[in-house]
Structure 1
Amino acid sequence: MQIMSLYITSLNSGSNGNCYYIGNETEAILIDAGISCRETEKRMTRLGLSMSRVKAIFVSHEHTDHIKGIPVIIRKHQLPVYITPDTMTSGRLDIQESLIRRFISYEPVTIGGLRVTAFPKLHDAVEPHSFMVSSAEVNIGIFTDIGAPCEQLIHHFKQCHAAFLEANYDETMLETGRYPYFLKNRIRGGHGHLSNTQALELFRQHRPEYMTHLLLSHLSRDNNNPELVHQLFAQEGTDTEIVVASRDQETSVFRVSAKNV
């Protein structure tokens, strides 16, 4: 029996730029494109991935670290961009009309052998969405820039064979750090970002037994520590491989299957 697999990597993850690759053997998508076209291509080449496989970009929300690479990438590679109307307006993106596609919450979009479903999330943007990317029986979740773990996040997390999950800040580091009070409150106020503790609680309570990979994403440079957060999750003693996605470079490519191979 042939076992279906998906291949995933974080090309960059953090407030300086976000871009996540999910694909099968023949086609792929990017969730967000917050680094330059040149850097996106360079990192994919190092991983042995080809831009020719990328068939679309899906946009989670309009903040600059998620969209700044889009105009050049889509113009050069003639890629369609799936985006909501309000996100398009708020992001002030200069995109040729023929490449714009609209997506609607909970309505799957089919890209070759991939099925992409968006659902709303809690974040301080106009129409923020998380995504589930599926192929056959394999489900990959992209869950970053989330103020709190709502019911929809929990529902989808329970179905993931792998997930990109935000672990943005350590509560003590944020509280004692140099950020002004208003910014601290924006981050932890329910429409900002997930803390290490919130992410860990989601993982503890709702991780499916078959989850093989967890990519901890969107770590704050000032309010978190990669070694700290990796240890926090690794000490849970699960079979899930814990990876911390970097703010400065790509991760390895991980093969995710419905069954271990």
Structure 2
Amino acid sequence: MSLFITSLNSGSNGNCYYIGNELDAVLVDAGISCKETEKRMERLGLSMKKVRAIFISHEHSDHIRGLPVLAKKYRLPVYITPGTLQRGGQTLQDELVFAFRAYEPVRIGELLITAFPKFHDASEPHSFVVSSNGITIGVFTDIGAACEHLVLHFKQCHAAFLEANYDEEMLEKGRYPYHLKARIRGGKGHLSNRQALELFLAHKPAHMTHLLLAHLSKDNNCPGLVHELFTRHANGTKITVASRYEETPVLRIGNTQLHESEYSIRQVLQGSLF
């Protein structure tokens, strides 16, 4: 059984990632509106009826902005730490709130979702890996440094959403005030292109077929630049840059190369996989 993944949006204006199989799916973060989430999933041929839960990485608004409406409308369980819930200031119905702990997998249908801590300037920030039938997908964004937790899980992934937030020279020469530049590159902010590439080169497993570069800065990065940088070193891994303006195509991730890994919107809409 394959896993199907897409970024519905990725950036400081909102983050939301879909991971699922033919029967069940989860969303990691809900940083765009419920309406926009529905529109983008419909364009991809994905059904909200397959979404069984939402997992929240941390409380910053670009990761939780659409959460209350989405959870309430579809009666979706929200997996969130107590600190993130408190600091986020979002009103959620008690019966929809479920706590998770690092390294304690949560089963959603045939999906296993495991959280682990990360370096970020939030209350209780976590990254996630989603696994099913021997396939593992990582969601690794909003990370100040590549800690041992990240390295351990990155090595397991068949595909991953990996932050490549900023080009170091663009940030240094850009218009941001010093305190904001210091926050971004200070170890609890975001990964630079160089940091992300170093992780990729040192720890990419042989079975990683897809890498989606995520959470690019609007002002301090360039999609073409980072795509070219990683493509030069991809060695067979398909590189996709997740947009801050639209959804990416649905990618099919599996243990076999006998099928196409990327589906056009037309193919998805005509098929019955989702």
Same topology, TM > 0.5? yes
Indicate the residue corresponding to 1:112 in structure 2: 109
Aligned to 1:37: 34
Alpha-carbon separation, structure 1, partners of 2:140 and 2:242: 13
Alpha-carbon distance in structure 1 between the residues aligned to 2:71 and 2:127: 21
Tell me the secondary structure at the aligned position of residue 159 of structure 1: coil
Describe the superposition over 1:40-74 as per-residue Cα deviations: whole angstroms up to 9, x where unpaired. 00000000000000000000000000001000001
Instruction: Determine the C-alpha separation between the residues in 1 that align with 2:257 and 2:150.
Output: 25
Name 1:247's counterpart in structure 2: 244
In the alignment of these two chains, the number of paired residues is 258
Partner of 2:10: 13
Once the two structures are TM-superposed, the CA of residue 259 in structure 1 deviates from its matched residue by 2.5
1:90-239 paired onto structure 2 within 5 Å: 90-239=87-236
Which whole-Å deviations, capped at 9, do the CAs of 1:62-108 have from their partners, x for residues lacking one?
00000010000011101000000000000011000000001010000
Give the whole-Å Cα distance in 2 for the aligned partners of 1:73 and 1:42. 13
Distance 1:78 1:210 in 2: 36
Residue type matched to 1:123 in 2? H
Q: Any idea what SS the aligned residue of 2:236 has?
A: coil
Output the CA distance in 1 between the equivalents of 2:32 and 2:233.
33
Compared with structure 1, are the counterparts of its residues 53 and 237 closer, same or farther at alpha carbon in structure 2 (3 Å cutoff)?
closer
Structure 1 counterpart of 2:115, one-letter code:
A
For normalisation by structure 2, the TM-score amounts to 0.94
Local SS of the residue matching 2:217: coil
Query: What secondary structure does 2:23 align onto?
Result: coil
Corresponding residue of 1:80: 77
Deviation by residue 1:187-240 (Cα, 9 ceiling, x = unmatched): 000000000000000000100011000000000000000000000000114110
Question: What stretches of structure 2 of length at least 5 have no aligned partner?
Answer: 259-274
What SS is found at the alignment partner of 1:184?
Answer: helix
Q: Give the fraction of aligned pairs with identical amino acids, expressed as a percent.
A: 67
Q: How far apart, in 1, do the equivalents of 2:174 and 2:155 lie?
A: 34
Q: CA offsets, 1:159-183, max 9 Å, x none?
A: 0000000000000000000000000
Verify: 1:68 aligned to 2:38, yes or no. Answer: no
Amino acid at match of 1:155: L
Out of 50, 66, 80, the residue aligned to residue 47 of structure 2 is 50
Give the AA of the match of 1:19: C
Provide the secondary structure at the position in 2 that maps to 1:140: strand
Tell me how far 1:248 sits from its aligned partner: 0.4
User: How far apart are residue 260 of structure 1 and its match?
Assistant: 1.9
TM-score (norm 1): 0.98
Tell me the distance in 2 between the aligned counterparts of 1:124 and 1:230.
27
Q: Does the C-alpha gap of structure 1 residues 237 and 152 become closer, same or farther in structure 2, counting only changes over 3 Å?
A: closer
Q: Distance in 2 between matches of 1:225 and 1:144?
A: 17
Q: CA RMSD in A?
A: 0.5
